[in-house]
Structure 1
Amino acid sequence: MAESAVSFLLNHLSEWIGHEKQLIGSLGENAEFIRDEMGRMRAFVRMADEKQEVDPLLKEWLNQVRDIAYDAEDVLDKFVLRFPSRRRDGFSGRITQIYASVKNLKTRRRLASEMHAIRSRVSRVLEGQQRYRDIYGGASGREYVRDETALWYDGRGDALLLEEAEVVGIEKPKKQLIEWLSSTGRTRGGLKVISVVGTGGLGKTTLVRKVYEDDASVKTLFSCHVWMNVSSSFKLDVFLRTMIRRLVGEVKQPPPQGLETMDADEMKEFVYKFLQSRSYIIVLDDIWRLDAWEAIRYAFPRSGTRGSIIIITTRFQSISHTASIESNGHVYSMEPLSQEESKTLFCRKAFLGSSCPSYLEEIAGIILNKCEGLPLAIVVIGSLLATKNNNIEEWRKFHRSLGDELEGNHLRGMTRLLSLSYYDLPYYLKSCFLYLSIFPGDRSVYMLRLIRLWISEGFIQPKEGKTLEEVAEDYVKELFNRSLIQLEETPNYDRSIRVRVHDLLHTMIISKSREQGFVTIANSSQDTQWPANKIRRVAIHGSIEDMAGIKGCQHLRSVLVLDNVNTLTAITLSDFLRNLSKLLKVLELRGTLSSGKIPDEVFKFYHLKYLGLKYSKVKSIPRLIGKLENLETLDLRNTQVTELPVEILKLGRLRHLMVYNLYIRNRGYHPFDDVHSCRIPYRIGSLSSLQTLSDIDATRADVDTTVVKEIGKLTQLKELGVMKLRQEDGKDLCTSLAKLTRLETLHIASSQEDEVLDLLDPVSPTPPIRSLELRGRLLLLHGLTRLLLRWSRIENNDDDPLEHLQNLPNLMYLELSHAYQGDGICFKAAGFQRLKKLWLIRLEGLESVKVEEGSMPVLRELYIWGCKLVGEAPSGIEHLSDLQYVDFSDMSDGFVAKLEKQKEEEEAGNLQSFEMQISVRNLRSFEMRISIDNLRALRCNIRR
């Protein structure tokens, strides 16, 4: 974590010195010294970050380095804050403005003195660095290699911790792996690579060990068997020598002469020749680096008398897929234990095989839920609880102090296992991963929200040819690749929009965050431990009225109110904000304000980059908003703001402006006016950095002028929502859309329910839109993955209403709501080949739905709501072999009667089994459960 702080400071210093050096004299000299010395120190800091667990003095030295980096950053930002007039255009103009605004040198001298003091502290920690170099050895850049004996944890001990978990939940994956082994071992299929991938503690090594030791599947199929531990400390020459010794030991031969002096290429050649005439199975356990696989892959022959197998275990998705795909092999993704399997294993450990006492069931369930099916966690925690003699008070005490227990001796092995992945992260990902500790552990967070916060915090490093948002998405993918986060599937099946962390990993990173002063969690239901060191970030999971400990924290950079239990008046919030540091960069106040006014104190945070007011009762944005010149994200969703002042145009760095209010009267239904949009200044096109703009009015209130033409100037836009469009706006809108070559999400709606949107004007080039919500005429784009047609009211004629949709090659989500007035819809063969989710909502004239064989082959979910004239379930539904969920709601009495009749039949069409349950209370609800291959549930709700 210290490396992250140092690296961020170096980037900040380099940029700042380049712009300000000629203005600040000795301040610049000291800044250059700090930059150069901290740069030379960074490589050693990287090594020290890993070794601090075994050396408390080294940990303290790292804390000093981190504090220096933070303090230097504060001095730089104070300079910008004290001399705001330097922001004027033109270099010479800025010089004049600075010296004209400084009436005395008191502030200037104080800043220079602070920087000089930091320089002195850097000199002192350099002395400490030299002492630790003598102990641990030097390290710089790529010359640094981990010393396995010096690390505090040996990853190869994982299997030992999981031995007793082997009989729970292992049958299915073992059967699958043995099937793959057998099919390869009995053929001349050449080499196959099987990868077993999953987060630490899922039991990968245990599973593969049990397969490897299976006499029938391994011993008789392969003539050569070797198990190799790779781990994060991989060294090529050591690995190859060990492998050679084990290979020749299999045939009871001595190692080759000169083995100790062979180089890597000679050893790989020996391995290749030795295996060339044999069928072999080699396990490479715990691979951490793709380059480790690349270094050894060609040592294994690709053909032999019979098929051969390499089994890889890894935490990294990229390694598993890269290694297996080139041999047309297999990837097995380890899954957590089911609830039933978890309970069985837990009882076996906590109660020595007996059942859970009734008085412990509730607390046992809570603790077990924390484990989330992780076998390692269940075994270790269950074993510890077995020592509590079934004392309920001891169990409750353990649960309350679970975070501290993870740091204790009893659970240290498991904590170190989880921490190993954290310490392996590159510096730029450590901050991003720790940032997830800010959010409550029992919920996920929207990926786009997380990305915007990362950018505002300064965690994202620019890359040529990519926006910061695209780089941040790469960071998310890398954390997922390392099995550190989970991604939740989205409704459009195109990209994951929610991110979450395993509960125990979350507990671990909260501990790391607290230990390193990264974030303080303030919870009004518990006593908050305000750290003695400098607080940088505060996440409030309660009421901010109780957060007295924040007062006077002059180094605070971020305040996030995530679960405020009480809304606040502007006066109360003003008192709270008045005590915050003026260097604040992130202010998230969602759901906090109970009055319509934003306190003036908000607009004194010049460095503010992120302002979140979602779900608050704000009614207007004052003209003071123009003072927040560094603002990048303004989140006004679901507020009562209906118009933005012209001063918003001063925010030249604004990247994301979300300002709509979504209003749904009945859950599941979308009335025409469910989105309340916002009026914006006409010259919105001057905000050239905007990537998100949703949802805005197409016209202004004071004059009948459209902003549709201005939209075409926002060439960085990726998401756009425009409401209240008129028919005559169609041509200008198409012209503007043609210029938005990065646009991915588009929401457009007409001004009135009966107004037709004329979007037939050709759009070229077509933007790469993936999600389209349209209330008007259809705009066809082949890049669509998600399409919502609401209130389009396509008329019934000879043309098939689905003709233009069924061939869209990437469409995965389709919603038709008040969108069609015909009496029948037919999903034709070979249509909608990638569609996974289908909604038909209130199609008032619809009488029948037909599905031809070959249509929608991968459809998973089907929803038909409020189609009162539909008399029976879709014809041909049995062709949907991938269907998993069906939901009929608000259907007619005839529909219900038809299903009742089907229930009485022994077989219903091609249905393999049919089961219906009806709760009768004036027949207000109707539920049907049905089993067709993969179909899991069919639910019908009838409302009158």
Structure 2
Amino acid sequence: MADIIVDIFMKNLIKLLGHEANLLLKVKGQVCLLQDDLGIMNAFLKDSGGKRNEHHLVREIINQIRDVVLEVEDVIDIYMVKVIKQRRRTLLGRAFHSIGHANLLHDVSNQTTSIKNKIRNIYDNKATFGIGEVESNANEEAEQSLQRRRRNVEEEDVVGFVNDTATLVKKLVEGTLKRQVVSIIGMGGLGKTTLAKKIYNNSRVKNHFDCRAWVNGSQECKSKELLLGISRCVEMEKSDELHKMSEEELRIALNKHLKGKRYLIVLDDIWKVEIWDEVGAAFPEDLNGSRILITSRIKEVATHASSTPPHLLPFLDKNESWELFRKKVFRGENCPSNLETLGIQLAESCKGLPLSIVVLGGLLAKQEKSPRIWEKMIGKVNSYLTDNRTKCLDILALSYNHLPGYLKSCFLYFGMFPEGHKINARELMKLWMAEGFIQPIGNREVDDIAEDYLEELIDRSLIQVASKRSDGGVKSCCIHDLLRDLCIKESVKEKFFEIHSDADPSESSMIKARRLSIQGNTCNYFLSRTCDPKACARSLFLFSEQNNFDSNHWRWIYKGFKFIRVSYLWNVNLHSFPSQIRNLIYLKYLRINSEMNFIPASICKLQFLEVFDLRSSSSESILLPKGIWMMNQLRHLKVSRSLQLPDPAERITGTNPLRNLQVISALSINQKTTLLIRKSLFPNLRKLHLLHKHNGIRNWTGQEVLELLTSLEDSLPSLRVLKTESLWKFSLNRFDMYPESLTKITNISSIMVPEHFRILGKLPNLRILKLKDVTLNGSGTQRGLIRFVAGEFPKLEVIKMISVEIVTWEMERDAMPSLQHLVINFCYPLRNLPNELCRLTHLRLIEVSNISKELWNMLKDLNMNNGCKLIMD
């Protein structure tokens, strides 16, 4: 992990030298020398990375490198803060405050040189001390021991998997005669090996295949070892001579031996796509129904080997968890009635992970089986499971150790959120960006790179999807409790973050933790501790229970955490916004809750701020200070209530001051809004939420709405997502009222007429349309009518209608040819769906709920084609 810390810091340092060179002008030469020293350190760390049991000399030098890098970061931050504060002063103030801190950088440069010499000594003496050999042998023995432990735990008890077994057995013995690869994927400890073994020993499977082979993989397994293992299982002749063959000769010999036979090969626990590339050629592709079964924690392995979708193994449900727990603790005997309620609680606390249940059951099987003992464990199960003696975390850590460097910090970040917390995916990705985890790659958007990282963690079975967005992306995600404990354990060791909570209070000084997460009663936490001016946290997370936040708490932050980049105040009610916030110079991400109706001008002094996220339950409009136009690093301006932009100063107009702004949420519309948009003051905006708050102000006319919408085309060329709320009237004399660039439109609380859908249907790139609380006006039979015409909505993939007063839905053939997902909720007047829907070849999912009895009866008898799934709630 130390190499990740150094790597992130170096990339941020390079970015700093490029974007903020004027702040480092006087010491740029020294900073560049530091960069060179860190480059040498980073090379050593990458060369030493990935080893589980480093020699103690190597471990020590890695710890020293990490600590020096953190110290270098502190010194540069201190220097830059002084430069920025100096520039804020008046000319008279500057005369009394001179900057003389370049020597600090010189001191740290000397320290890095000293560490560099130690690195050279390690290299020179590596052969003398036998560091490489010691590491290699220790790692190999530990790997083999852990793999044996993993297989013993996974295969010991079989519970559940009834449907999974039936599905997979059918795939193996039925279907196409072509050779097929079937895969089982899922989180470590979920029972993939157990399920595969159950299938492998199934009588129907045994009788179906001429020969079978089972080989165990690992993170470091070699393809030749797998080929030798398969050869022994299928009883190749002259097996004693196989070891003498080259890998290519072995592949050819095995292929020849299997030719004409209907075979089943199980490759258990495969970690790399290269393994399949190297062993796959050994399996002949005869048309006789041969199969290969792969188990892996990594989705990419499965999809690389076959186009057949992998079987994702689910967690155990409550009944299955209790059955496995009882089976492990009582070994076939009945559970005493006085322990059953406690036992069910303990089993459920494992969150459906068989590994946790088996390990916990093994611990309890060795102890006195009494309510007194079991009651002690309620609420503390994870503490027992993460004990080093269980090796439970070590088994799960295999997935973490296999992560590429750029994903390790992203994964550990999940540990900062409370247990069971559903994490908003877009929020998480913005946090990663603020931390510097996401670096540009070519001309790709950093948002897209961050989304790829999250998807990769999901595909590696480390993160679970909690909910999805309309476009299929991840809306929210979560992490299993044991994996969260793994994040915490690794982070404490590497000084990545610390957690302080009511449940697990810590007396740590918080001086060295780079990130701090405070969970529970944060107010009591603040009041019980004094500010520590030496605290070096760069991120501060507060997860409160409706606690108020006053000036004392702010003082604790801006005195004790001067260099924070991230301030994430979740569910903390803010009553004041002190001018001293300007002292948090490095702040990039600020999320707060507040009922205030104004934002102080001091926030505009935060020149690095990228994300400003203000949550509020108030309906009042909030006015931003004029200084907002000077915040040229701002990327996301998100407010949960109506937001008003101030008039820009004359010198600002036409200079694109908010050129990096990509998201504005809940922007209050009025004549000023239209003028500001027309001036192209935020030309790179990608998402815009327009909100009309009446508040006694006159309603907008249809012509005014039209002027606003038509101004978006030329002024916001990058706009992709538009959300409009409470725009009650539309003027319908122009078909170009929406920008053609839009891919998603959400319309909330408005009145629409049939002509609106003709206008929307002309948009060439529209993929998602969401309507909520919409009244459909029209005269006579046109009232409550939605009509889709042939050739319109060419790329539309998703329609969501929630509380739409739709009575009649008409649809011509060849309308919406790309539609994949339809959602209808609380649309009670609707009585039927158009027949043309059933003919759409791309439609895969229809979700309906809270509908009329007539529509319900019509849908339950509906025969869907093309594999479309109908979900009725």
SS at match of 1:562: strand
How far apart, CA to CA, are the structure 1 residues paired with 2:65 and 2:41?
A: 9
Matches within 5 A, 1:324-335: 324-325=306-307, 329=308, 331-335=310-314
Mapped contact 1:349–1:382 kept (Cα < 8 A): yes
CA change 1:812–1:17 in 2 (3 A) is closer
How far apart, CA to CA, are the structure 2 residues paired with 1:72 and 1:301?
A: 58
How far apart, CA to CA, are the structure 2 residues paired with 1:805 and 1:440?
A: 49
Select which of 477, 492, 499 maps to 1:521: 499
How far apart, CA to CA, are the structure 1 residues paired with 2:640 and 2:768?
A: 23
Query: Do residues 28 (structure 1) and 31 (structure 2) align?
Result: yes
Select which of 156, 168, 184 maps to 1:164: 156
CA change 1:197–1:32 in 2 (3 A) is closer
Select which of 46, 50, 59 maps to 2:49: 46
Amino acid at match of 1:36: G
Shift of 1:177: 2.0
What whole-Å deviation, never above 9, does each CA across 1:573-610 have from its counterpart, x for those lacking one? 23222332321101122433442x30222221111000
Aligned to 1:801: 785
Aligned to 2:548: 567
Query: Do residues 287 (structure 1) and 289 (structure 2) align?
Result: no
Mapped contact 1:618–1:639 kept (Cα < 8 A): no
Aligned to 1:383: 362
Aligned to 1:903: none
Aligned to 2:661: 690
Mapped contact 1:486–1:499 kept (Cα < 8 A): yes
What whole-Å deviation, never above 9, does each CA across 1:270-294 have from its counterpart, x for those lacking one? 3333323332221111111112222
Select which of 737, 740, 744 maps to 1:770: 744
Aligned to 1:929: none
Shift of 1:64: 2.5
Matches within 5 A, 1:186-335: 189-218=177-206, 220-247=207-234, 250-256=235-241, 259-260=243-244, 262=246, 264-304=247-287, 306-325=288-307, 329=308, 331-335=310-314
Matches within 5 A, 1:522-921: 522-530=500-508, 534-545=512-523, 546-547=525-526, 548=529, 551-569=532-550, 571-595=551-575, 597-613=576-592, 615-638=593-616, 642-661=622-641, 676-681=642-647, 686-699=657-670, 706-710=675-679, 713-723=682-692, 726-727=701-702, 728-737=704-713, 740=716, 742-749=718-725, 753=728, 755-758=729-732, 760-762=734-736, 766-774=740-748, 775-777=750-752, 778=756, 779-780=760-761, 781=763, 783-797=766-780, 801-804=785-788, 808=793, 810-817=796-803, 819-820=805-806, 824-825=808-809, 834-841=820-827, 846=829, 848-849=831-832, 852=835, 855=838, 858-864=844-850, 872-874=854-856, 876-880=858-862
What whole-Å deviation, never above 9, does each CA across 1:432-473 have from its counterpart, x for those lacking one? 111111111212110001011111111112211212111110
How far apart, CA to CA, are the structure 2 residues paired with 1:528 and 1:738?
A: 56
How far apart, CA to CA, are the structure 1 residues paired with 2:466 and 2:589?
A: 25
Greater mean deviation of Cα atoms: 189-198 or 515-524: 515-524
Matches within 5 A, 1:343-422: 343-412=322-391, 414-422=392-400
CA change 1:152–1:797 in 2 (3 A) is farther
Identity of aligned residues (%): 25
Select which of 164, 180, 205 maps to 2:171: 180
How far apart, CA to CA, are the structure 2 residues paired with 1:46 and 1:519?
A: 20
Shift of 1:303: 1.9
CA change 1:737–1:499 in 2 (3 A) is farther
Amino acid at match of 1:733: L
Amino acid at match of 2:253: F
How far apart, CA to CA, are the structure 1 residues paired with 2:600 and 2:335?
A: 60
CA change 1:164–1:829 in 2 (3 A) is farther
Mapped contact 1:588–1:610 kept (Cα < 8 A): yes
Shift of 1:829: 8.6
SS at match of 1:389: coil
CA change 1:852–1:554 in 2 (3 A) is same
SS at match of 2:776: coil
How far apart, CA to CA, are the structure 1 residues paired with 2:812 and 2:337?
A: 56
Shift of 1:478: 0.6
What whole-Å deviation, never above 9, does each CA across 1:746-789 have from its counterpart, x for those lacking one? 111355x4x33548342687224234225355333453334115
Mapped contact 2:636–2:663 kept (Cα < 8 A): yes
SS at match of 2:849: strand
How far apart, CA to CA, are the structure 2 residues paired with 1:768 and 1:704?
A: 20
Shift of 1:409: 4.5
SS at match of 1:287: coil
Greater mean deviation of Cα atoms: 538-547 or 741-750: 741-750
How far apart, CA to CA, are the structure 1 residues paired with 2:369 and 2:565?
A: 49
Aligned to 2:431: 453
CA change 1:86–1:129 in 2 (3 A) is farther
Q: CA RMSD in A?
A: 3.6
What whole-Å deviation, never above 9, does each CA across 1:599-625 have from its counterpart, x for those lacking one? 222221111000111x32232111112
Select which of 484, 487, 498 maps to 2:462: 484
Amino acid at match of 1:386: A
Greater mean deviation of Cα atoms: 3-12 or 759-768: 759-768
Identify unmatched segments of 5+ residues in structure 1.
Answer: 89-96, 662-675, 884-932, 939-944
How far apart, CA to CA, are the structure 1 residues paired with 2:630 and 2:139?
A: 54
Shift of 1:178: 1.8
Shift of 1:16: 4.5
Aligned to 2:696: none
Query: Do residues 497 (structure 1) and 475 (structure 2) align?
Result: yes
Aligned to 2:101: 107
SS at match of 2:274: helix
Amino acid at match of 1:278: K
SS at match of 1:36: helix
Per the normalisation by structure 2, the TM-score is 0.86
How far apart, CA to CA, are the structure 1 residues paired with 2:160 and 2:477?
A: 26
SS at match of 2:612: strand
Amino acid at match of 1:678: Q
**Count of aligned pairs between the two proteins:** 829
CA change 1:117–1:137 in 2 (3 A) is closer
What whole-Å deviation, never above 9, does each CA across 1:123-173 have from its counterpart, x for those lacking one? 34554566667667669xxxx99963454754354332123322x113322
What whole-Å deviation, never above 9, does each CA across 1:473-500 have from its counterpart, x for those lacking one? 0110110010000112336262221010
Greater mean deviation of Cα atoms: 600-609 or 229-238: 229-238
How far apart, CA to CA, are the structure 2 residues paired with 1:872 and 1:330?
A: 37
Identify unmatched segments of 5+ residues in structure 2.
Answer: 694-699
Amino acid at match of 2:69: A
Select which of 94, 107, 117 maps to 2:111: 117
Amino acid at match of 1:803: R
Mapped contact 2:668–2:691 kept (Cα < 8 A): yes
Shift of 1:323: 1.4
SS at match of 2:400: helix
How far apart, CA to CA, are the structure 2 residues paired with 1:159 and 1:741?
A: 56
SS at match of 1:489: strand
Mapped contact 2:356–2:385 kept (Cα < 8 A): no
